[in-house]
């Protein structure tokens, strides 16, 4: 999912150069290859060891299952960004179908996984981590997908997509916001997480950032003829919604900035000593934060903010390289993907 996020980030750069789109396309293809490889290995693991349901039911490992759908979201958005110029109506129809399938699947995941957690697993608030938000993260990205594909959809399908995107974006963000109260309470009562788990604190950066990105994108994706409740005399409805989305986006961006600073200070004060999958939280949520920054920069037409967005993009890409290299080294050193070393072991 982080690699797909990088491809999407490259496609949205405010400052471009010749060949940048081709680089982004290459990253997108690499993401597809990595997704196919990792998924195949996971399927092989479950087939050989017959532990798929056990994995889903595990108190820690099960929370990472929704990241599969986050990867799907990046592939759908990347498909539109890199191949969306196709004038064939079949392409927009395909994107519409993919969107609705994604919404159904991710809503099912959010409902069923939280239902299982509420009835079968007992977590202590003193050990609350942002990973509790993960089951709601995929359905929240329905709004992000809608913000990307809506502009190329005909009016008949554009408005339902935007309405669904806003609805499910709101659902995911509201669940995240409720979890934030537990998270802040945990920090106030028990302090920061153990140094090995602090990179996971960056997960909290994602929900407000992706919500800001989605709100602005969906408002811009509405057709010019859009009016609230179908009133033909309200031709300014689209512009009003865009202004409201921009205002809400700016304030949500500030919340992401605050969570980013809290997580950054925590990690810098006590860096982790060994690799964990939560390191990837230093990439994907910050990709959303960077995309939200770029979206606001484009909306305000601010050269300074566009420069900040480009600088943030470089930092996120550098972090992706850093985490990827350490992930590979961890596999080689048997620090991960080895009995007793993974997220299927409680500590």
The residue segments making up the domain with residue 182 are 2-332
Output the pLDDT for position 339: 63
Among the listed residues 73, 39, 65, the one whose alpha carbon sits nearest the alpha carbon of residue 117: 65
173 to 28, 56, 106, 210, 330: CA distances (angstroms): 27, 23, 14, 9, 33
Q: Give dist(CA 33, CA 196) in Å, integer.
A: 29
Task: Report the length, in residues, of the chain.
Answer: 347
Could you tell me if 280 and 273 are in contact, meaning their C-beta atoms sit under 8 angstroms apart?
no
Residue 238 lies in a domain: yes
Output the pLDDT for position 281: 92
The dihedral of CA 332, 335, 338, 343: what is its sign? Answer: negative
Output the pLDDT for position 74: 94
- Look at the chain and report how many structural domains it folds into: 1
Q: Give dist(CA 289, CA 260) in Å, integer.
A: 9
Residue 257 lies in a domain: yes
Segment (H or E) for 95: helix 89-120
Reduced to 3 states, what is the DSSP secondary structure of residue 88? coil
Output the pLDDT for position 232: 63
Output the pLDDT for position 151: 87
Residue 339 lies in a domain: no
Output the pLDDT for position 58: 83
Residue 341 lies in a domain: no
Residue 100 lies in a domain: yes
CATH code of 287's domain:
1.50.10.150
Output the pLDDT for position 252: 96
Using one digit for the tens of pLDDT, what is the confidence trace for 321-330?
999 999 999 8
Output the pLDDT for position 338: 65
Give me 121's structure tokens: 């697993």
Residue 304 lies in a domain: yes
Below-50 pLDDT ranges, the chain: 347
Output the pLDDT for position 230: 62
Output the pLDDT for position 341: 61
Residue 337 lies in a domain: no
Output the pLDDT for position 231: 64
Q: What DSSP designation does 63 have?
A: G
Residue 340 lies in a domain: no
Could you tell me if 168 and 103 are in contact, meaning their C-beta atoms sit under 8 angstroms apart?
yes
């Amino acid at each position: 999912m982080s690699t797909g996020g990088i491809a999407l980030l490259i496609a949205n750069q405010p400052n471009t150069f010749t060949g940048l789109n081709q680089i982004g396309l290459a990253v997108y293809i690499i993401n597809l290859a990595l997704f196919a490889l990792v998924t195949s290995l996971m399927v092989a693991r479950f087939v050989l060891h017959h532990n798929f349901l056990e994995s889903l039911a595990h108190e820690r490992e099960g929370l990472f299952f929704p990241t599969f759908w986050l990867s799907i979201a990046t592939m759908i958005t990347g498909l539109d960004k890199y191949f969306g110029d196709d004038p064939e109506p079949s392409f927009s129809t395909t994107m519409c179908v993919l969107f609705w399938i994604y919404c159904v699947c991710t809503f099912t995941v959010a409902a069923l996984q939280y239902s299982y957690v509420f009835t079968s697993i007992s977590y202590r608030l003193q050990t609350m981590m942002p990973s509790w938000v993960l089951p709601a993260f995929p359905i929240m990205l329905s709004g992000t997908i809608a913000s990307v594909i809506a502009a190329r959809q005909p009016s008949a399908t554009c408005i339902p997509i935007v309405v669904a995107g806003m609805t499910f974006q709101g659902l995911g963000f509201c669940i995240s916001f409720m979890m934030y109260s537990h998270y802040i309470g945990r920090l106030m009562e028990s302090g920061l997480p153990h140094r090995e788990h602090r990179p996971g604190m960056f997960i909290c950066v994602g929900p407000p950032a992706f919500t800001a990105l989605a709100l602005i994108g969906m408002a811009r994706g509405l057709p010019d003829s859009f009016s609230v409740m179908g009133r033909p005399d309200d031709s300014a409805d689209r512009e009003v919604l865009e202004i409201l989305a921009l205002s809400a986006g700016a304030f949500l961006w500030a919340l992401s900035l605050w969570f980013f600073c809290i997580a950054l200070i925590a990690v810098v004060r006590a860096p982790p000593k060994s690799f964990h999958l939560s390191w990837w939280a230093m990439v994907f949520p910050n990709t959303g934060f960077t995309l939200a920054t770029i979206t606001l920069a484009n909306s305000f037409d601010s050269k300074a903010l566009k420069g900040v967005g480009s600088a943030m993009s470089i930092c996120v890409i550098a972090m992706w390289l850093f985490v990827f290299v350490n992930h590979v080294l961890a596999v080689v050193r048997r620090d991960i993907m080895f009995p007793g070393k993974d997220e299927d072991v409680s500590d």
